[in-house]
Amino acid sequence: MMLVVAKDPHAPAPGGFSAETRRRRTEAAPVEFTIGDITREATDAIVNPVGPGLVDLAIRRAAGAELVDAFHLARTALSGGRLARGQAVVTPGFGLAAGHVIHCCPPVYADDPEQARRDLATCHREALRLARVHGFTSVAFPAIGTGVYRYPVAEAARIAVDAVTAELRAHATPMLVRFVLWSPAVLAAYASASNR
């Protein structure tokens, strides 16, 4: 049974839930949406969209230099020694509260919007596949692609939520998935995508 919860930590309410808490029950594991700093998440893993964006920079700074070395070592096992769009690799979390980091290569929306849709969904599915392989029971995602990669937030939210929900339904894994978002507007877009 999935419980979808939208949390706004800036709204004063008991238990940290806003007055706009949204819930939906389906047949999968829990999915949460919250505003926060993904580098402070204590989930088994956080997802890092590798590249020039602020999320990648914040994660690398919080984790320490060992994270970059571990990422480069992990990607040498990939075909061509590079992380392609939609692929992901796992490293330890080092200085992060999360035990591990799942690194994925986000799509650039302007290059090819149709391919970007497929790649964004694949990022989320591949991250959850790796989480299952490694026995993780909780994973936190940022709003992948919506920063420097300029993916439209509402569309990114819809694709991310649909991909995660489908993956959780297909694999009966008792996994908590949390989307850690950077503003009330982005939180609203992701919560809205979960209510379709």
Pairing of strands 88-92, 100-104: antiparallel
Residue 97 to residues 100, 130, 143, Cα–Cα distance (Å): 9, 19, 19
The rounded distance, in Å, linking the Cα atoms of 151 and 196 is 20
Q: Give the list of residues 6+ apart from residue 80 with CB closer than 8 angstroms, or none.
A: none
Phi, psi (deg, nearest 5) at residue 46: -115, 155
N- to C-terminal Cα separation, the chain: 17
Residue that the structure tokens 């330890």 belong to = 92
Let me know if 119 is a catalytic residue.
no
How many other CB atoms are there within 10 angstroms of residue 123's CB atom?
A: 27
Q: Which residues of 150-188 are buried (b: 16+ CB within 10 A; e: fewer)?
A: ebebbbbbbbbbebbbebbeeeebebbbbbbbbeeebbb
Sign of the C-alpha dihedral computed for residues 181, 185, 187 and 191 taken in this order: negative
Say which of 44, 56, 69, 111 is annotated catalytic.
Answer: 56
Active site residues: 56
